[in-house]
Structure 1
Amino acid sequence: MTGNSYNIDIWGLVVALTMVAIAAGISELMRINIGKTLLWSACRALLQLCAMGFVVGYVIRANNVWLVFTVIAVMLVAAVQITLSRAKGVPKGLAGPVLLSLTITMLLMIALVTELVVRPHPWYAPQLVVPLTGMLLGNTVSALAVGLSRFYESMDERRDEIDTMLALGASAWEAARPSIVSSIRLGLLPTTATLASCGIVTIPGMMAGQVIAGGDPINAAKYQFVVFAAIAALTLVADSLIMAMVYRTCFTADDQYRPATER
């Protein structure tokens, strides 16, 4: 223990991994067949988190604006790859729109939070900007993947309806709008559920982490709310922006519906 914070030594990490190993063993005994995946994912998560801890520590000590933006750029590229790997049934060639959507919305949210809410010195404070970027991207990636999957699935389900709307004179946007609305709502569902339950049912991770580390609980609650507010706004804007950029992939240049096999 240091001050009011509690440090985790190597044995603590070993115990944590042992808990996962026991759960994996129970899985194998029950023939659920996810034990190896669970254990491998836990080991990989430990290595990735420790590596990120070293990177963030170095960036904080360096306190260099270009290094901060380099880390953000790497995170954005990784977020695009993860989004497309999680999204099901989407056509190829969406890396550009996804990257553009994430970049615009991320820079906008980071600028608003740093300049109008927290107001750190310097404005690019690594200990704020890098972790905040990671939290925002983590939630937005999931929402975008779900939203894209739902959009293309909905468009395929509504093929006859869309053909009828187009035949009656509707524009491509009007025909795609129900699917766009459905996908955005589905992408926002986890965020709205978290907002409704936080502080009553759960103590969110960022707030819990600050309190365990010895931070003031009220200040931790304020930071957590700012993060949730940014996530909600970022998810809605990013989902809306990506839908506006990709809905045309379901139509030809003559505004005819393009089946999934032709995209």
Structure 2
Amino acid sequence: MNAATANSYPIDTLGLVVTVLLVAVAAGISYAMRLGVHRQMLWATVRSLLQLLAMGYIIKFVIERNSPWLAFALIAVMILAAIQITMSRAANIPRDVMPQVFLTLTASVILQISVVTELVIRPHPWYAPAVLVTMTGMLLGNVVSAIAVAMSRFFADMESRRYEIEMLLSLGATPFEAARPSIVASVKMGMIPTIAQLASSGIVLIPGMMAGQVIAGADPLTAAKYQFVVLAVISALTLMADSLIMALVYKVSFTKLDQYRPAA
């Protein structure tokens, strides 16, 4: 038994049961105080447990087969699921922006794999499923939240600025110039959680990846390096994704004659 194995603390069924019971107690407090979040919390917890366990089995299967085709097939399924989640999370957005969302998520994943995975981590073999799939999952989780918030803010802000936009267009402004204040506000809004996590990591926050590696017996310094790479990469790619989605969707708010068109 090596040091890493000796110092690891695997979670058994009892640990999962205690965790679920803790959530149930919190939901009970919500019910007693009539906060109205107990049902959502319980459902989200059960759904999270089932999804994570299922993904754990799937990733284990893909790692054991060690096939690039299986790894990329799983990543493709993750992208499709991310599109659906993004469209459901973003409020009051036109449904015809789905191709732009697909392009943004796919470009982010390709950039992450080609630059970060292959140039920073450099796994062996290059398609190592343990690296490709997990890195893609972490990236998509953050990008989905960021672009959903950014799109929601953009279309809401455009509607609130409707008369200002029409005035700018009548004075000769281009659609991009008229939409720019909403684009800037939306990108900033989408980046707030990511930047806050990056800035607070290591001082008031030990992020999940680093904490998990240390608990599992990894060297804390190595875990810190991995966590920094993940956070910095996610921040950079999230900003790129936010910028790309805004560059793609702002045109939806205008007709071919450069007239403002409210979101359907």
- TM-score normalised by structure 2 residue count: 0.96
Higher RCO (CA 8 Å, separation ≥ 6 residues): 2
Other-structure match for 2:14: 11
Q: 1 CA distance for matches of 2:225 and 2:115? A: 16
Other-structure match for 1:199: 202
Other-structure match for 1:91: 94
Q: Deviations over 1:147-182 (max 9, x none)?
A: 000000111111111111111111111111111111
Q: 2 CA distance for matches of 1:116 and 1:10? A: 38
1:115 aligns to 2:118 (yes or no): yes
Q: Deviations over 1:82-117 (max 9, x none)?
A: 001000110111111101111012111221112211
TM-superposed CA distance for 1:2, in Å, is 4.3
Q: 2 CA distance for matches of 1:42 and 1:115? A: 34
1:48 aligns to 2:51 (yes or no): yes
Other-structure match for 2:231: 228
TM-superposed CA distance for 1:259, in Å, is 2.3
For the aligned residue pairs, the C-alpha RMSD in angstroms reads 1.1
1:173 aligns to 2:176 (yes or no): yes
Matched to 1:256, the amino acid is Q
Alignment match of 1:141 (pick from 135, 144, 163) = 144
Q: 2 CA distance for matches of 1:222 and 1:257? A: 47
Alignment coverage as a number of residue pairs: 261
Mean alpha-carbon deviation: is it higher for 20-29 or for 76-85? 20-29
Other-structure match for 1:60: 63
Aligned pairs for 1:29-40 within 5 A: 29-40=32-43
Q: 2 CA distance for matches of 1:105 and 1:29? A: 44
Segments of structure 2 that go 5 or more residues without pairing to the other structure are: none
Other-structure match for 2:109: 106
Matched to 1:190, the amino acid is P
Q: 2 CA distance for matches of 1:193 and 1:147? A: 16
Query: Quick one: percent identity of the two aligned structures?
Result: 60
Matched to 1:77, the amino acid is L
1:241 aligns to 2:238 (yes or no): no
Q: Deviations over 1:165-205 (max 9, x none)?
A: 11111111111111111111111111111111000010000
TM-superposed CA distance for 1:12, in Å, is 1.0
1:155 aligns to 2:158 (yes or no): yes
Mean alpha-carbon deviation: is it higher for 142-151 or for 32-41? 32-41
Matched to 1:37, the amino acid is Q
Aligned to 2:34, the other structure's residue is in SS state coil
- TM-score normalised by structure 1 residue count: 0.97
Q: 1 CA distance for matches of 2:221 and 2:103? A: 36
